[in-house]
Amino acid sequence: MAVKGVNHVNIIANDLDETAKFYGDLLGFQRGETPGAAMGFKGAWLLDDTGQAIIHVMALHAERHADLDRGSATGSIDHVALTCEDFAGTLQRCEQMGVEHAVNDRKFGDIRQIFVTDPNNVKLELNFAGGLTGKVLFSRY
């Protein structure tokens, strides 16, 4: 077996609509229905421009998620990294939306990154190939 990529990320949301709007406004995802709705699960699938569900969002359910530690950022997951396009447009949307963000032009490789946090305290690493300026604006590495 070989892993070829990430199929999706599932996020438990305090506010399903706010979370879907955040991802739609910032990253251009379209909100789709979750097949789990037929079984009583309240949620949404956030679809890329090909119709692939990249992020699954489930509404917080007190009984089902009783053991979930939501006190720290993303629980046991440090962050979710997404391969993206349109660095300048994404940066502009962050500024227009008032989303706190950090830019990293990595010292190695040909990649630019924008780091943001969603409404559920999930850290996102948005990766954009190419277009380095050579100036490190932010670096964790």
**If you ran DSSP here, which 8-state letter would residue 29 be given?**
P
Compare 73 and 51 and report the one with higher pLDDT. 51
Inter-residue contact 42 to 56 (CB < 8 Å): no
Q: Of 46-50, 64-68, 121-125, give the range with the top mean pLDDT.
A: 46-50
Mention the CATH class of domain 9-63+73-129: alpha beta
Cβ-based neighbour number of residue 88 at 10 Å: 10
Q: Tell me: the pLDDT tens digits for 41-57?
A: 788 999 999 999 999 88
Listed in sequence order, the DSSP H helices in 13-100 are 16-27, 87-97
Question: Considering only CA atoms, which of 129, 130, 120 is closest in space to residue 55?
Answer: 120
Query: What's the token pair of residue 99?
Result: 């989303």
Note if the pTM is more than 0.75.
no
Question: One-letter amino acid identity for 138?
Answer: F
Domain coordinates in residue numbering, the chain: 9-63+73-129
Q: pLDDT band at residue 121, thresholds of 50, 70 and 90?
A: confident
Structure-model confidence comparison of residues 12 and 136, the more confident one: 12
CA 115 to chain centroid, in Å, comes to: 10
- Residues facing residue 81 across a β-bridge: 125
Query: pLDDT-derived band of residue 14, with 50, 70 and 90 as boundaries?
Result: confident
User: What is the secondary structure of 117-139 as a DSSP string?
Assistant: E-TTS-EEEEEEES---S--S--
Q: Measured between alpha carbons, how far is 21 from 88 in angstroms, rounded to an integer?
A: 20
